[in-house]
């Protein structure tokens, strides 16, 4: 029963997004972005619905979803952490920040914590080299990091995440 309800919710959500974008194929990227914003990733079922409703092949929806790095086909955490390992950040200890976050969250790069709170990713440059080492969490920049500062920031997000869950 519960699974059925989830499916209905999912279908309703996708339908309402398709409606906003007039069921137009040319809006496929915007539709996928909006769906991802709702679910934090692109569940397979949503892509099936989109293909069906837009009358395009599922493979075409997949091609777009896998081409752009912004899309994730795997569940992601509430907070997506991107630690910069570009040259400017690397020379200022970016790698140490990655290791610290890995240790704190007990996950590797590309993984999500079991409680679905955090996903860890790395990037080559965040365009804020003067602030290195830098990490971005859900679009929020945190610069001039030390391992201690990174730990404190993670703790703040943990607390914030718990508040919104509770
Ligand atoms: S190299 Fe890290 S922000 Fe540019």
Sheet order of strands, 140-142 included: 118-123, 79-84, 135-137, 140-142
pLDDT (tens digit, 9 = 90+) per residue, 46-90?
999 999 999 999 999 999 999 988 899 988 899 999 999 999 999
Q: What would the mean pLDDT of 130-158 be, rounded to a whole number? A: 96
For ligand 1, the distance from its centroid to the CA atom of residue 86, given in whole angstroms, is: 5
Question: For residues 137 and 153, is the Cβ–Cβ distance under 8 A?
Answer: yes
pLDDT of residue 69: 80
**In the CATH hierarchy, which fold is given to the domain comprising 79-165?**
Glutaredoxin (3.40.30)
123 lines ligand 1 (CB under 6 A): no
Is the CB of residue 145 below 6 angstroms from any atom belonging to ligand 1? no
Alpha carbon distance 29, 23 (integer Å): 12
Share of the chain above pLDDT 90, in %: 79
Are 42 and 32 in contact, with CB atoms under 8 Å apart? yes
CA of 129 to the centre of ligand 1 (A): 4
Across the chain, mean pLDDT equals 92
| pLDDT score recorded for residue 164 | 65
Question: At a CB cut-off of 8 Å and minimum separation 6, what does 6 contact?
Answer: none
pTM of the predicted model as reported, rounded to 2 decimal places: 0.74
Domain coordinates in residue numbering, the chain? 2-67, 79-165
pLDDT at 40: 84
- Do residues 117 and 77 lie in contact, with contact meaning Cβ atoms separated by under 8 Å? yes
């Amino acid at each position: 029963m519960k699974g059925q309800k989830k499916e209905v919710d999912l279908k309703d959500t996708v339908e309402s997004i398709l409606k906003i974008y007039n069921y137009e194929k040319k809006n496929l990227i915007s539709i996928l972005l909006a769906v991802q914003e709702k679910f934090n990733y692109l569940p397979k079922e949503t892509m099936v619905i989109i293909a069906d409703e837009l009358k395009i092949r599922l493979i075409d929806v997949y091609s777009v979803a896998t081409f752009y790095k912004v899309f994730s086909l795997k569940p992601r955490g509430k907070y997506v952490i991107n630690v910069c390992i570009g040259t400017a950040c690397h020379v200022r200890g970016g790698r140490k920040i990655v290791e610290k976050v890995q240790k704190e969250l007990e996950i590797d790069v590309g993984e999500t914590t079991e409680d679905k709170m955090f996903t860890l990713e790395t990037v080559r440059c965040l365009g804020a080299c003067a602030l290195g080492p830098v990490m971005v969490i859900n679009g929020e920049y945190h610069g001039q990091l030390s391992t201690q500062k990174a730990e404190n920031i993670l703790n703040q997000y943990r607390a914030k995440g718990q508040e919104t869950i509770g």
